[in-house]
Each structure stands twice: as structure tokens, then as C-alpha cells.
Amino acid sequence: MEHFVYAQTENGLSKEEITAALLKSLEGLSLKNVLIIPPDFTRFHSNAGFITNVYYHALENMGACVDVLPALGTHVAVTKEEAEIMFGDIPYDKFIVHNWRTDVVRLGEVPAEYLEEITEGIWHDAVSVEVNKLVMDEKYDLIISVGQVVPHEVIGMANHAKNLFVGVGGSDMINKSHMVGAVYDMEKMMGKDHTPVRKIFDYGMEHYLNKRPILFVLTVCTAPGGNIRTHGLFISEKRSGLEAAIELAQKTNIDFVDTGIKKCVVYLTPDEFKSTWLGNKSVYRTRMAIADGGELLVLAPGIERFGEDMQVDKLIRKYGYKGRINTLEQFEKPENQDLRDNMGAAAHLIHGSSDGRFTITYAVKNITKEEIEGVGFAAADYDETVKRYDPEKLQYGYNTMPDGEEIYFIPNPALGLWINRERF
């Protein structure tokens, strides 16, 4: 029986309303073992932590044994402190760490001819479909995939099958899906459904996971002032839940500006953004709004490294954010096998560059300015920079500084997409 529970409101659902919808999705079920796959701490503002906590206790009260497998992708594992902040009182020993290199099983592949078709001839290789072995464990009566639908640089709109094939997927799918998105052009995809990368995941769902008992629980959220506001909750076994969530997210999470932004200032909260791998959301999500010759200033007090994974960190330091053409040239050189073996990193280098169209300056305090400049960004001292651009005093959107300078301020880039209406 298909679950189909939708709830949405402009001002945000209350915890009581969310809880009622979650409990409704479990009605009539008799369950012994359940696997919950929520996002990790980097998606704190998805409200997936609260949802996971509600499901965990409701299922335990039903007599089920519950395991939690955060969708890490290539991110570092959720710490005990982060788990308590995001997921509440779920015992830490219930959290299973996904290792994208060793914990996966291969289900099959998305064939090369299909990739050629959906990428308009740009991509010619097959992609292996791999997921964490627990997803295929027959002991689980139900797998609950929790996550937020929001504009995304690789796939267009995040979540649904991406939570499985990337979040708890393997290296081939992670690397190639990211590279497909990069070479196809992220600006052709962001904020949209039915992109080439989405079609890869849809193929994987239809051909390899169609018999698994997977329930998708999708949120559409904003976080004004850092407070999570859940505008929609979509619970369904079918793709229809994703489509409904995308329709709402396109209204809620895309902001149009009337003309190109000359100077955009983005603040990265230090508890959420510790690497440029994550912090470059400030680049991905604003690049379609920034004017040619403009400037992106990233206030990044928590940045202390480049990659979430130390191997990827090493690659970023080696190759830098030097533009799409440069990265593809490096990628094609036989001596750069390390980059070819990590297509996800290569794609990230492309996404994190402005291709020379505007400048990117990181204002930092926990990493040296020399390191920042070494990967191709301009660098500034955080404490000095915030004397002028204080995130506590700036308002979201346009601000006029005391000397007349006009800036556009974004307090958290992870929950939106900004587009210049003139160029859309």
C-alpha cells in the first residue's frame, strides 16, 4: 500500500503537526526491524534530526529494532556531540557509520548508451549502482529515507534517491554523478527536476531498488535567523512525493534578484561549515545572481580545511579552484591519475570556481590566508573583515553601507538558490 502523506503551510508546520503526519505514515504497519537513513550534520537545517527522533521512538514503542545510518556520502562521520544536537536522545551506538569505499554492494549499472542519451552525447561511460549493504539486508521490513529537497549544484534539486545512491552509495556513483553534473553545466540544472543526474538516480531506483521497502520522507525548509521553518513534509513510496516537494521548493528556496549583484556577502556558520567542500555552497548557490566582474565575499570563521575527506583535501590543495577548462585539462592528463580516480573532487573544483567571471574572497581565521590563496581564492582576515561586514548587523538581502556601498547579504547559502532574473 502506497503511503501518501502531505502537509504544508506557508508559515511552517508545528512539531505537533509534523509528529502527527509521521505517525500517520506508520499506521497499519507491523515492523520488526527498521533502518532510518537521515542526512548528516551538514544538513542540520533540514529538520531531519527531529523527524528521525520521532520515528525512532515511535518505532521502538511499536516493538521494532531501529538502526540509524546517516547519509554521509564522502563527509566525515557524525560526532557524538553533533548527534545529540541534531538527533536528540537517540543512543549514539544506534548510529552506523557509512564508508563509501568499503561498505557497499554493487547492484548493477546505468548503461553507457543511456548516459549518452540523457547527457546529449557529453558522457560515454556506464555508472555502477552501489549502495550500503544494509539497504539490501532482507531483515529490514522498512527503510525510511529522510531528507530535504532544496536546490543543488549536482542534481538540480537535492534528495530522494540521491540520499541512497550518493548519501550511502559507492565511489563510482558518487564520482561519476558529480562529474556528469559538472561537465553538463550546473547552471543548466540547478533548481530543476529531470536533470541528467536525477535521471541516473531514477534509473537506479526503477531497476535495482524497486522491490525494497523504502519510504521517502522529504522536507522543504527555510531557516530565517537560524530557526528551522518546515514549509512542507512529503511522505511517499513513489516519486510523486519528490515532485510535490520540488514544486514547493522552487517557490520557497529560489530567490530572484532583478539585476546582477555587484557584491555578495555570505556568512557561513562555524558549527556547520568547516571545509570549503561545504563552504563553497556560497559559490554554487549565488553564481547565477552575481554580475560579471562582481565579488563574492565569504565570511567563514569555521573553515579549517578544504576537503571533508583528507584524500580529497590533498587534491584540492594540489589542483585548486582554477576554473572548468583548467580542471578538465588537468583531468585529461595521464599523469594526473589521482584526479581521475576522484571524479567527485574534480567536479567540486569546477563547481567551486567562478571561471574568472567574478572574484571569490574567503575571510578566515582558522586556516592561513596563504593556504586559501594557494587554491585560487583571494583571502582576507576574518576579524578585520567583520568590523565592516558584521553578520549580526546586516539584514538578509540588500544593505547600504555607511559609505554608500551596496551589498547583498545571505546569512546561510545552504537553503536557497539565487538567480539574476535578467539572465534566467
* Tens of each residue's pLDDT in the chain, 424 residues: 455 677 777 789 999 999 999 999 999 999 999 999 999 988 888 999 999 999 999 999 999 999 999 999 878 889 999 999 999 999 999 999 999 889 999 999 999 999 999 999 989 999 999 999 999 999 999 999 999 999 998 899 999 999 999 999 999 999 899 999 988 888 889 899 999 999 999 999 999 999 999 999 999 998 877 788 999 999 999 999 999 999 999 999 999 999 999 999 999 999 889 999 999 999 999 999 999 999 999 999 999 999 988 999 999 999 999 998 999 999 999 999 999 888 889 999 999 999 999 999 999 999 999 999 999 999 999 999 999 999 999 999 999 999 999 999 999 898 789 999 887 6
Residue with cell 536525477: 198
With 0-12 CB in 10 A as exposed, 13-18 as middle and 19+ as buried, what is 107? middle
Residue 406 pairs in a beta bridge with: 400
Burial state string for 199-219 with b = 16 or more CB within 10 A and e = fewer than 16: bbbbbbbeebbeebebbbbbb
CA 291 to chain centre: 25
CA 348 to chain centre: 12
Angstrom distance (rounded) from CA 173 to CA 166: 7
Number of alpha helices (DSSP H) and beta strands (DSSP E) in the chain: 16, 18
pLDDT for position 43? 85
pLDDT for position 227? 82
Give every CB contact of residue 68 below 8 A, 6+ residues apart in sequence: 35, 36, 37, 38, 52, 56, 87, 90, 94, 95, 96
pLDDT for position 424? 65
* Strand-strand pairing, 156-157 and 151-152: antiparallel
pLDDT for position 194? 96
Under 8 Å between Cβ of 72 and 98: yes
pLDDT for position 344? 85
Give every CB contact of residue 78 below 8 A, 6+ residues apart in sequence: 40, 41, 70, 72, 86, 95, 97
Q: Which domains does the chain have, with CATH numbers?
A: 4-252 (3.40.50.11440), 256-423 (3.90.226.30)
Q: What is the pTM of this model?
A: 0.84
